[in-house]
Structure 1
């Protein structure tokens, strides 16, 4: 996912949680926004590019612990460090 609005415009994130009732999502990038401090963002301000980081998606869906280093590595492997 890419940010379409705000100070983080163009930055790539991994979605970790949603709040469908209010339309917010929590995203991380493994650097500035870590698992311990996810960013709450309006889902309308994100652009989903259709790429799925398979290993992270499976771990998140299963409720397993993921690490910031895994997120950074996955985003780097797809060339999506942002900005």
Structure 2
């Protein structure tokens, strides 16, 4: 079972650690299994959290492949993306 490739701009959910269940946006990548994640509040763009990809579940992409270069990642943008992701997840649960 291969995990999807995690790249910058993806919305992810933490599966392990003290932040289990938290939703983040990937802001950058490190060596092999690690990425930088931020939520715009506790973990800001200036000081993101280092997270192992094995402990993350991809919820969706916030930026299409073509727009990835044109979007400037800021704390306000991250908060708006996560707010949209929460609304969509609630909508999915209520329509099932």
Instruction: Name the TM-score, length of structure 1 as normaliser.
Output: 0.77
Between the two structures, name the one with larger relative contact order (CA 8 Å, sep ≥ 6).
1
Q: What is the number of residues matched between the two proteins?
A: 75
Structure having the higher strand fraction is 2
1:75 aligned residue (61, 73, 82): 82
Aligned equivalents of 2:41, 2:74: Cα separation in 1: 11
Counterparts of residues 1-83 of structure 1 (less than 5 Å): 1-19=12-30, 21-49=31-59, 51-54=60-63, 58=67, 61-62=68-69, 64-79=71-86
Larger Rg: 2
Structure 1: stretches of 5+ with no match in the other structure? none
The Cα RMSD (Å) is 2.1
| Unmatched tracts of structure 2, length 5 or more | 1-11, 88-96
- Mapped to 2, the partners of 1:34 and 1:40 lie a distance apart of 12
**TM-score relative to the length of structure 2:** 0.68
